[in-house]
Structure 1
Amino acid sequence: MAAAIKETNDPQSVHFFEGVEKLLEIWFTSRPCGTTEDPDTDKEKHDLRNIPRQKWESLLKIVRCEIISFCRNDQMDAYVLSESSMFVSKRRLILKTCGTTTPLQCLEPLLQLVEQYTGFEEVEDVFYSRKNYKKPELQISPHQAFEEEVALLDTFFDDGEAYCLGSVDSDCWYLYTLNRQKCSDIKREPDQTLEILMTNLDPEVMAIFTRDLSSSAAEATVKSGIEKLIPNMIIDDFLFEPCGYSMNGLSKSGAPELPDGCYMTIHITPEPDFSYVSFESNIPQASYTEVIRRVLDTFKPGKFVVTVFANKESVATEMPRELDQADNFTFGGDWLRHDVQYCRFKNYDLTCAFYSKFPS
């Protein structure tokens, strides 16, 4: 993502930017378990989009980033940030930030804002995740170590659980979530998230996301083929100076291929020494193989991590089996799968797999 902000507090490096994002997703509910109130009784009040923009701007100052672009559809507000993205829908907030941002520092004021403007009475679900950093020593508390992040999250949530998937000695992926049983009398909506985290990227592809090769974000989007990854998306993109790229995509109303409420987001740090690309979407698919293949063909990474979250109502529940049965050529290239792990939570299933290119 945004290489526009240079982190130069490392005495050993003139210029470094941490592309790895911290991803915080929170679902809110207006119906505590055991009550008989209809959660949609006061539809106008129970909506995170009622929080005024200036309140979001103040909150993001705590996170150490700012809003630089905005788009919306009937289901979701999408913000491109100076460091990645934020999505706000009726009950869900997604805050994804890179660099030396501090998203967990905003939890207390965030919960206060939600109570003040929306009437939501409790947190239904929390997902906090990130890949391991390239230079953790540059992060700001509580983000230097996952143990410190977990300790802070535990002060807000008394039933959170923490996980580390992959190898702590090389590539790993951290997760904190609330593994609580949802009320059986509440209708649950299908939910799924695909995330692909890529490193060691092709220098020629990464050069597209510099001002030397692209004069605008729109040019970089077309030249790279990003607009073809998931068709029928409203694209809001931004090309940083001198390099770096972010985009949010929202499903177009009435598009037959995409249900309302679908999003896509991509963030690119193109510098060769620490190149990084993240792709994320919640499109419902029984199989993500073709989407993953298109993403890999677009960015040509040397290594990547893929995670798939799906609840019991989602069509993506078969993806763990598909990844387990995939061979080295499933994604259109010579890939070596180093590890694949599965977690079955009370409400979601998670698959996390690590890949690298075969040595040429």
Structure 2
Amino acid sequence: MAVSGFEGFEKRLELYFSGDDPAAGNGLRRLNFYTIEKILHTVQCTVVSAVGNDFFDSYVLSESSLFVYPTKIIIKTCGTTQLLKSLRPLVESAATVGLTLSGCRYTRGTFIFPGVQPFPHTSFKDEVFYLEENLPDNLVYRKAAVLGPRSAAGEKWHVFSACDDSCTLMEDDSYTVEICMTELDRVLAKKFFRRFDDRRTGDSVGKEMTDVTGIRDVNRKALICDYAFDPCGYSMNGLAGGRYSTVHVTPEDDFSYASFECVGSVYDDREEFLRLLQKVVKVFRPAKLSVATTCPTGNDFWKGTAKTMESLGMRLRSRAADEFPGAGTVVFQAFSSRRN
């Protein structure tokens, strides 16, 4: 817990691996729980709940989420965790199951309390330096950029990607959407506080929060693994085939924050995707939010987001886009309520 308040904005690291026969033995899913816990302790977080399916394993962490596929790992953590310190241990652990790193993508928003972040998260410059120093030499194509308004004020999106000659971080048919919301509606945020002297488990209270807040209605088809923290806060991972979605909430008044992330196919019904975004925003009614969409270059799946947000009383404040090696195009849009 930072002295100024809890930092809700997550740091997100996505790593891609390759090998002679990466599907054999489930690849990274062969890593035992002790190995995963040891890496998480380096980052300064722990597993609080877990579930898996035929495609990947999902972990709800004390600070956000971890997803382990046979040849891919996504880890995102909030607070003052040192996420990038997981890079080397993850690469070394992957080598024990015959896999080598072929691609990396790191993203985050603008911290609410940047002054309390420990190295290497003290600045984006420091983060990029740490990544450059710790990535293997075969990742020759690298790029770092900050998307957002040119002025110092305003929400920004920080992106670093790196890949080798063979790696494609963004599949031809997929997209990733990361939504960050602040200044949540106070009445709605109160639903993410536990009752006084509530002695139920975090799992049972989490299921209740999933239902009463409307989060379950966001994607009824997903297998949900949820957890409620004490005295407040909530995390959820949703599994639907090989795709995941995740929600994290810090509901305290002075620094309220919620995030929603999902992956999907650009060939899905775009109107259905936009309805999903509407459902997410209605759960929290934030005063400010940003939407970062990563798609294959040349795909305009992100279009329609601004119009959808306008129907919810949100006004587009800024838009920026950039292309990254092996990772497609990132479109970053920042919105605020019309009352601001």
TM-score normalized by the length of structure 1: 0.84
Say yes or no: does 1:99 pair with 2:82. no
Question: Contact (CA 8 Å) 1:150, 1:162: kept in 2 or not?
Answer: yes
Task: Show the counterpart of 1:264.
Answer: 245
Task: Show the counterpart of 2:159.
Answer: 175
Question: Contact (CA 8 Å) 2:65, 2:237: kept in 1 or not?
Answer: yes
Give the fraction of aligned pairs with identical amino acids, expressed as a percent: 32
Task: Show the counterpart of 2:313.
Answer: 334
2:329 partner SS: strand
Cα distance in structure 2, aligned partners of 1:274 and 1:183? 38
Of 156, 162, 183, the residue aligned with 2:144 is 162
2:237 partner SS: strand
Residues 275-354 of structure 1 aligned to structure 2 (within 5 Å) = 275-284=256-265, 285-287=268-270, 288-311=273-296, 317-323=299-305, 326-327=306-307, 330-347=309-326, 348-354=328-334
| Aligned length in residues | 322
Superposed CA deviations along residues 337-357 of structure 1, whole A, max 9, x for unmatched, are 011112233441221100001
Cα distance in structure 1, aligned partners of 2:133 and 2:41? 22
Question: Contact (CA 8 Å) 2:162, 2:325: kept in 1 or not?
Answer: no
Could you tell which deviates more after superposition, 282-291 or 48-57?
A: 282-291
Task: Show the counterpart of 1:255.
Answer: none
Cα distance in structure 2, aligned partners of 1:334 and 1:181? 45
Give the C-alpha shift of residue 49 in structure 1: 0.4
Cα distance in structure 2, aligned partners of 1:159 and 1:73? 33
2:289 partner SS: strand
Superposed CA deviations along residues 203-245 of structure 1, whole A, max 9, x for unmatched, are 1111000013897111111000101101211111111100000
Cα distance in structure 2, aligned partners of 1:181 and 1:228? 41
Judging changes above 3 Å, is the alpha-carbon distance between structure 1 residues 188 and 299 closer, same or farther for their aligned structure 2 residues?
closer
Of 212, 225, 233, the residue aligned with 1:236 is 225
Superposed CA deviations along residues 79-115 of structure 1, whole A, max 9, x for unmatched, are 0101011000111100000001001112112111010
Question: Contact (CA 8 Å) 1:59, 1:109: kept in 2 or not?
Answer: yes
Superposed CA deviations along residues 28-49 of structure 1, whole A, max 9, x for unmatched, are 112xxxxxxxx5x463246110
TM-score normalized by the length of structure 2: 0.88
Paired amino acid for 1:292: L
Paired amino acid for 2:141: D
Question: Contact (CA 8 Å) 1:205, 1:224: kept in 2 or not?
Answer: yes
Task: Show the counterpart of 1:79.
Answer: 59
Superposed CA deviations along residues 243-269 of structure 1, whole A, max 9, x for unmatched, are 000011111xxxxxxxx2011110000
Give the C-alpha shift of residue 173 in structure 1: 1.2
Task: Show the counterpart of 1:256.
Answer: none
Task: Show the counterpart of 1:120.
Answer: 99
Cα distance in structure 2, aligned partners of 1:103 and 1:47? 22
Task: Show the counterpart of 1:36.
Answer: none
1:317 partner SS: coil
Of 182, 185, 196, the residue aligned with 2:179 is 196
Cα distance in structure 2, aligned partners of 1:238 and 1:188? 30
Say yes or no: does 1:49 pair with 2:29. yes
Superposed CA deviations along residues 110-148 of structure 1, whole A, max 9, x for unmatched, are 1110101x2113x23211111111111111111111110
1:169 partner SS: coil
Cα distance in structure 2, aligned partners of 1:181 and 1:164? 24
Cα distance in structure 1, aligned partners of 2:13 and 2:322? 19
Question: Contact (CA 8 Å) 1:235, 1:249: kept in 2 or not?
Answer: yes
Cα distance in structure 2, aligned partners of 1:182 and 1:42? 14
Of 190, 209, 214, the residue aligned with 1:220 is 209
Question: Contact (CA 8 Å) 1:201, 1:300: kept in 2 or not?
Answer: yes
Task: Show the counterpart of 1:254.
Answer: none
Give the C-alpha shift of residue 290 in structure 1: 1.5
Paired amino acid for 2:216: E
